[in-house]
Structure formats: structure tokens, C-alpha cells
Amino acid sequence: MPPESVNGPLLDVRGLTVVVPTRRGPREAVSNVDFSINRGEVIGVVGESGSGKSLSMQAVMGLLPRNFQVTGSIRFNGEEICGSSERRMRALRGGRIAMVFQDAMTALNPVQTIGAQIVEMIQLHNAGLSAGELRDRALSLLKAVAIPDPERRFAQYPHEFSGGMRQRVVIAIAIANDPDLLIADEPTTALDVTIQAQIMEIFSRLRSERGIAIILITHDLGLVAGMADRVHVLYAGRVVESGPIESIFREPHHPYTASLLAAVPSIDHVSERLKAIPGTPPSLADRASGCGFAPRCALALPLCATLEPPVSRFGASNVACHRAEDQASLSRMGAPT
Amino acid sequence: MISFFPASRALVPPRSRVSVGVSRFFRRIGWEHLPTVFAAVLIIALIVIAVTVPWWAPYDPVAIVGRRLQAPSWQHWLGTDALGRDVMVRTLYGTRYSLPIVAAVLLAAVVIGVFVGAVAGFLGGFVDNALMRVADVTLAFPPVLLAMAIAASLGPGLVNTALALIIVWWPIYARLMRAQVMSVNKLDHVDAAIVGGVRPARLLLKHIMPLCWSPIFVNATMDVGQVILVAAGLSFIGLSAQPPTPEWGQMISEGASNFYFWWIAFGPGMAIFLVSLSANFLGDALRDFIDPHSGHAA
């Protein structure tokens, strides 16, 4: 066990850059991303498909193929894990850091009982437990994720479970060894809305009862609003805005954040059309030098297309935008872009 | 008068108790399973014959039991061959050579192929390339020709035939397993297991390979007929069992030199035909059972 740093953040990522090989040569898919999470905290990582949110989490877990270049610093509990050995990563994975995938339908081994799969996870990180102890711990995990009738469920196969129940099993497997950090990669995308609420309820219990820090990757701002302490908004591989949840929602400083919020349909204002953001995110191949959002931005200046905006602090948020102040005043006036 | 229900069935009296039992059985499972049931019964019967034939066979398979080249009669159901040996008894004894060869060849080919294919598909890169090029070289030759060459260079004999067939057959299973492992490796639960800290060896054995077996089984069942045919072919040209062994291919070769006495080749020929056909029926049924999408019947 590495020395526990008492005060530092649980996970501290600085300058994370991921270069992926494409047919037309290497391209930067994640550029200079910073984020950190404290013990027991919940942060949201928000962005649309291809913004690099899953890629950066896979980089943290050390899951990317060898031909992906990962640079920057990833400190877990003060220990640098970027580029550390496969053996060390295996001990961390499933032990101190766990991950929940998007699609619970396929995240379980179809030919093993769920009991066997939970027991396997416990056993991997705690050698020498008796069969009875393993079973007891597995059953208590199933209870922790609110699966009714755990004794019967223990001996069943994944196909006998509904989508929501499978996601609970996946979560039970993830928390089998009381991890410090749980990375949830769009954990409710494949589920319907009532089940989503139940799963989010389980997450918030894990946090309050077990003190597990959670990184919630999602494109659903509503989920983040209900749970996270802080939010990081990713666009085209960069963190464009980050800060406490209230300030992001009340006073977005980045035009992208503002348009994301405006795009959420509201039942208070009945409007005929959904407010989509015009244009599409830049593909990996043509990421230019300036701000990635400039071509779609209503507030863009000529400067935005050429100079990448530096990250500066506005109130409680960190924003990478040349026009952050203007956007903020627009937001204060309640006018979405 | 048009009736929705065919009335004729009720009017026809049952021919016998047995036929009623059989038709009731097939009405329950469906008549399309007739070939499967036929094949299963036949294969089981052949295995029983192979095990028990020495206890009840009326003659010794290598003993001269009467006049040579007798036509089929009640005494010698399939006649006698050029040396006066009973063809029926020799055919029945043939199961004791053909069935073990098939079992040994397929078992060894599956074991070697699965191991090589799984390692290649899982590790990828250089290991994959090296192993698969070896398999490609083997597959580049026509299988019968390669088996002939190997059997000829090892020298005639049943064991050498089996070795030659194993060398020819394992690359098919290696390729099949490699493809299976590579596609299963992309599934989410494998990533989930990696995220949980599972070691590579355990990952392959517990989380990947258990999902790879079905095409291997189906292919092996289908190959039973093929192996019997090629094995018989090798002994037909004299590269396998030597006289007086009552091996099917060897017997057909003897029959070919006495072409006008058809019964000599008829026994072993029919045996080969029935075994190959049954194996194919079983393979088809197994494939439909495992993967309902590939079959025509719903």
C-alpha cells in the first residue's frame, strides 16, 4: 500500500493528453485535460459523443491500447499511475478504482452465474477467504444494491435479470472491494427513466454510506444536477468549463455550456422546437488551432478561430473562453444563446 | 365437401403397436427431426457394435469360413470375399478401426487447434502471425494430398494415418477458435473483467473461452464424416491398415479388384456412407439447436 496522502485529492489529473492513431496519422483526442476529485466527492464529466470523456477515463484506468500515447500526470492517492506497471494497475483496478460501464446488458459474463462473478471479484483482491465468507459478502453486496431475494438471485444467470437489475449487479461487482473511486461511464444511458432514478439513488447511497468518490460521465445534465458537487464540461477533447454545480447551472460562462443548458427541454416553457446547437463537433481529423467550439458559437470573434483561449478563473468556475464575461452577463440576463 | 380436419387419419387402423408409438413420438417432436433421430440411433448402434461384436459375431473376421466369392445368402448375409472370409462380420469389425480413428483424430485436432487458436487470437501481434502462418502453410495444400504425403513418409499403418490426419486437421480448428476468441474479446464483459483486475490467463480461460465452444462442436460433428472418408481413402490406396485388417477402406480396395462380385465392397461402402450421413445430420441438428438463425426451419 502506498502512503496515504491525507490532504491531497484522491485522484488528480494534470495535463492529460491522449494521442490516437488514425488512418491519417496520429491525432490528439484529449488535450491537456485537468481534473481532480476528493474523497467522497461526486463530480460530473459532461460532453457529447466524441468529446473525449470516455477516452480520458480509460486513460486513467490504463485500459488504452499500447499504440495510444498517453501523457500528463495521473495521481491516485498521491501515487503517479500514468505509465505504471500492468501488475500495479491490476491491483488498483477492481480494488481501489472500479468502473461501471454503460451497457449492463453486455457487461456481465453470460455463461457464469452472477454469484460466481461477484465472488470472483472479491476473491481476486482477498485471497484466502472461505467459500462461506465469500458467499456472505456477495449476498450482502446484492442487498446493498437493493436486489430483492438475493439468495435466489445469487444462483441465476445474467439473462434472467432485467436491464435495471443487471446494472445493479454490475454496481455490486464494482463495489465488491470497497473501492475509493468509482468511475461510472454513462451508467444509466441504456435504462429507462424510472430505473435511472433508482440507479442514481443507489449511487448516492454508496457515497453517503461508504464514502465512495464517484466520477459520473454522462451527456445528461439532469443526472449531474441531481448528484454532482462539481462539473467538468468537455468539448472536442478539452475542458471548456469546470466549477461547482450551482455556478455552472446558474451562470454558465462558456457559450457551449450555455447552449447545452438551453437545449434541455423544459416543461415550464412550452416551445415548439427543441433548441439544438447548430453544426456538429469537429472531427478528430480537423481540429484546428483555435477554440474548438468557435464554428458553432454565436459569440465567436475572429480571434476565437486562431487562438486557443487560456483557462481563466471567473467566480467559482474555470473557463476556457475569450468571451466568458460576455456570456456570463448574457446568462445573468437569462437569455440563452 | 371440404373439411378443415383431415378425417382420414381416424379411419385408418393402426398397423401395429410399435408404429403407433413411433409416430406419436414424432408427432410430438416434429417429423423434421426424423433424420436426426435416425442418425443418433445409428451412431449409438455402431458404438455398441464396436464394443460388443467379438462376443456375438458368428465368425472370426480373418478366418476363412467357406467357399470364396459366395453371393449373399442366409449363411453369409453379405457373401464371402476373395479369400472366403465373411464380409458382414468383417464390416461389423470395421467399426473397431474406423470409430477410434475418428475419435482420436478429432479429439487431438480440436485440442491442438483450440489451444493454438486461443493463444493466437488472445495475444495477437507476433505470436498470432507466427502461429497462423504455420496454419496457413498447412491449409495451403489439398488436405487429401497432404495426408497422403505425410502417411506415405511415416510409413503405412493405422497410427500413422491418425497422425497424418491430425496434422491436416488441426489448422481448421485453430482458425475457428482464433476468430471466436477475437470476437468475444471485444465484448463488454471482457473489458469489465479487465477493469476488475482479472489476470490475462484467467481472462482467457474463464471469460472468453467458455463463449467460444459452440462452432467448434458443430464443426467437429460435421467433420466426423469427412475424417472417415479421408481415412478410408488413405487405406484404399494402401497407406493405412494392412491386410488382413478388416478396415473399411482396405476392404473396398479388395472389392475393387473383384469388381463383379459387388457384395465385397457393398458392406464397407454402405457403412462409410451411413456413418458420414449420420454425422452430417447430427451436425446440422446441433447447429440449428445452438444457432437458430442459421437454419431454415424455425
* Model confidence pLDDT, tens digit, residues A79-94: 888 878 888 888 888 8
Is A270 within a domain? yes
Q: What integer is the mean pLDDT of A250-271?
A: 79
Residue B153: Cβ within 10 Å count: 9
Q: How far apart are CA B258 and CA B260, in angstroms?
A: 6
Is A330 within a domain? yes
Residues of A in contact with B196 (CB under 8 A): 93-94, 98, 120-121, 124, 173-174, 176
Q: Specify the DSSP element, H or E, that contains B178.
A: helix B158-185
Exposure string over A319-331, b if 16+ CB within 10 A, otherwise e: bbbbbbeebbebb
Q: Write down the pLDDT at residue B221.
A: 87
pLDDT at A222 over 90: no
Q: Write down the pLDDT at residue A325.
A: 82
For residue B121, CA distances in Å to A48, A288, B252 come to 34, 39, 42
Is A174 within a domain? no
Q: How far apart are CA A221 and CA A231, in angstroms?
A: 10
Out of B187, B189, B194, closest to residue A63 by CB: B194
Please, which pLDDT band fits residue B1 given cuts at 50, 70 and 90? very low
Q: Find residue A97's DSSP bridge partners.
A: A93, A181
| Highest mean pLDDT out of A4-8, A284-288, B77-81, B113-117 | B113-117
Q: Find residue A45's DSSP bridge partners.
A: A217, A232
Q: Give the distance, in angstroms, between the CA of residue B156 and the centroid of all CA atoms in the same chain.
A: 22
pLDDT at B277 over 70: yes
User: Residue B252: CB partners within 8 Å, gap ≥ 6?
Assistant: B232, B236, B265, B268, B269, B272
Restricting to B residues 152-191, those with a Cβ less than 8 Å away from any Cβ of A are 187-189, 191
- Structural domain of residue A329, as residue ranges? 253-337
Averaged confidence pLDDT in chain B: 85
Q: How far apart are CA B218 and CA B176, in angstroms?
A: 11
Q: How far apart are CA A31 and CA A47, in angstroms?
A: 14
- To the nearest whole angstrom, how far is the Cα of A221 from the nearest Cα of chain B? 25
Is A203 within a domain? no
Is A332 within a domain? yes
Provide the grid cell at A252: 454558465
Q: Do B207 and A109 touch (CB under 8 A)?
A: yes
pLDDT at B89 over 60: yes
Q: Write down the pLDDT at residue A267.
A: 66
- To the nearest whole angstrom, how far is the Cα of A175 from the nearest Cα of chain B? 10
Q: Give the distance, in angstroms, between the CA of residue A217 and the centroid of all CA atoms in the same chain.
A: 2
- To the nearest whole angstrom, how far is the Cα of A173 from the nearest Cα of chain B? 8
Q: What integer is the mean pLDDT of B261-281?
A: 90
Q: Write down the pLDDT at residue B45.
A: 93
Q: Is B125 on the interface with A (CB under 8 A)?
A: no
Compute φ and ψ for A117, nearest 5 degrees: -70, -40
Q: Write down the pLDDT at residue A138.
A: 92
Dihedral, CA of residue B210, residue B215, residue B220 and residue B223, to nearest 10? -170
Is A304 within a domain? yes
The CA R_g of chain B, rounded to the nearest whole Å, is 24
pLDDT at A304 over 50: yes
Out of A94, A107, A110, closest to residue B197 by CB: A94
Q: Do B192 and A110 touch (CB under 8 A)?
A: no
| Identity of the amino acid at B249 | G
Query: Any alpha helices (H) in chain A, and if so which ranges?
Result: 53-61, 86-92, 114-125, 131-144, 150-154, 163-174, 193-210, 221-227, 245-250, 255-263, 324-332
Q: By mean pLDDT, which of A325-334, B48-57, B128-137, B263-272 is the weakest?
A: A325-334
Total beta-carbon pairs less than 8 A apart between chain A and chain B: 61
Q: Is B211 on the interface with A (CB under 8 A)?
A: yes
For residue B158, CA distances in Å to B106, B136, B193, B251 come to 15, 26, 46, 14
Q: Is B205 on the interface with A (CB under 8 A)?
A: no
- 3-state SS assignment for residue A316: coil
Query: Cα–Cα–Cα angle for B129, B132, B134, nearest 5°?
Result: 110
Fold (topology level) of B32-54+78-290: MetI-like fold (1.10.3720)
Q: Do A107 and B193 touch (CB under 8 A)?
A: no
- To the nearest whole angstrom, how far is the Cα of A224 from the nearest Cα of chain B? 24
Q: What integer is the mean pLDDT of B48-58?
A: 89
B42-50 long-range contacts, CB within 8 A, separation 24+: B42/B274, B42/B275, B42/B278, B43/B275, B43/B278, B43/B279, B43/B282, B46/B95, B46/B99, B46/B275, B47/B95, B47/B99, B49/B92, B49/B95, B50/B95, B50/B96, B50/B99, B50/B100
pLDDT at A98 over 50: yes
Please, which pLDDT band fits residue B296 given cuts at 50, 70 and 90? very low
Q: How far apart are CA B280 and CA B286, in angstroms?
A: 10
Q: Report the residue of B126, B195, B208 to disrupt the A interface, i.e. the one with the largest count of A CBs within 10 Å.
A: B195
Q: Is A91 on the interface with B (CB under 8 A)?
A: yes
Q: What integer is the mean pLDDT of B236-251?
A: 85
Q: Do A61 and B195 touch (CB under 8 A)?
A: yes
pLDDT at A1 over 70: no
Q: Write down the pLDDT at residue B13.
A: 54
> β-strand A230-235 against A69-76: which pairing, if any?
unpaired
Residue with cell 461508504: A210
The chain A residue lying nearest B200, using CA atoms, is A90
The count of structural domains within chain A is 1
Q: Is A116 on the interface with B (CB under 8 A)?
A: no
- To the nearest whole angstrom, how far is the Cα of A194 from the nearest Cα of chain B? 24
Residues of A in contact with B193 (CB under 8 A): 109
pLDDT at B116 over 70: yes
Q: How far apart are CA B271 and CA B281, in angstroms?
A: 15
Largest CA distance in chain B: 77
Q: Write down the pLDDT at residue B14.
A: 53
- 3-state SS assignment for residue A46: strand
pLDDT at A2 over 50: no
Q: What integer is the mean pLDDT of A142-171?
A: 90
Of all residues in chain A, what percent are helix, strand and coil, respectively (each to 5)? 35, 20, 45
Residues of B in contact with A120 (CB under 8 A): 196, 198, 206
Q: How far apart are CA B279 and CA B282, in angstroms?
A: 5
Exposure string over A220-245, b if 16+ CB within 10 A, otherwise e: bbebbbbbbbbbbbbbbbbbbbbbeb
Out of B189, B194, B206, closest to residue A106 by CB: B189
Q: Report the residue of B123, B186, B187, B188 to disrupt the A interface, i.e. the one with the largest count of A CBs within 10 Å.
A: B188
- To the nearest whole angstrom, how far is the Cα of A296 from the nearest Cα of chain B? 34
Q: Do B211 and A101 touch (CB under 8 A)?
A: no
Residue B226 near residue B101, CB atoms below 8 Å: no
Residue with cell 445430420: B281
Residues of B in contact with A88 (CB under 8 A): none
Q: Which of A142, A148, A145 is nearest to A198 (CA)?
A: A145
Q: Do B196 and A94 touch (CB under 8 A)?
A: yes
Q: Write down the pLDDT at residue B298.
A: 35
Please indicate whether residue A303 or residue A214 has the higher confidence score (pLDDT).
Answer: A214
Provide the grid cell at B217: 462442436
Residue with cell 458368428: B58
Q: Write down the pLDDT at residue B24.
A: 80
Is A15 within a domain? no
pLDDT at B3 over 80: no
Q: Find residue A73's DSSP bridge partners.
A: A14
Residues of B in contact with A111 (CB under 8 A): 210-211
Out of B188, B196, B206, closest to residue A93 by CB: B196
Q: By mean pLDDT, which of A56-70, A119-133, A215-229, B280-294 is the weakest?
A: B280-294
- To the nearest whole angstrom, how far is the Cα of A74 from the nearest Cα of chain B? 17
Q: Write down the pLDDT at residue B17.
A: 63
User: Residue A140: CB partners within 8 Å, gap ≥ 6?
Assistant: none
| Identity of the amino acid at A75 | R
Q: Write down the pLDDT at residue B136.
A: 93
pLDDT at A264 over 80: no
Residues of B in contact with A99 (CB under 8 A): 192, 195
- To the nearest whole angstrom, how far is the Cα of A291 from the nearest Cα of chain B? 34
Q: How far apart are CA B243 and CA B234, in angstroms?
A: 14
Residue with cell 454503460: A102
pLDDT at A224 over 80: yes
Compute φ and ψ for A182, nearest 5 degrees: -120, 120
Residue B127 near residue B166, CB atoms below 8 Å: no
Please, which pLDDT band fits residue B295 given cuts at 50, 70 and 90? very low
Q: Write down the pLDDT at residue B179.
A: 94
pTM score, two decimals? Answer: 0.79
Q: Write down the pLDDT at residue A105.
A: 78
Out of A61, A94, A106, closest to residue B188 by CB: A106
Q: Do A124 and B188 touch (CB under 8 A)?
A: no
pLDDT at B72 over 60: yes
Q: What is the percent of chain A where pLDDT is above 90?
A: 21
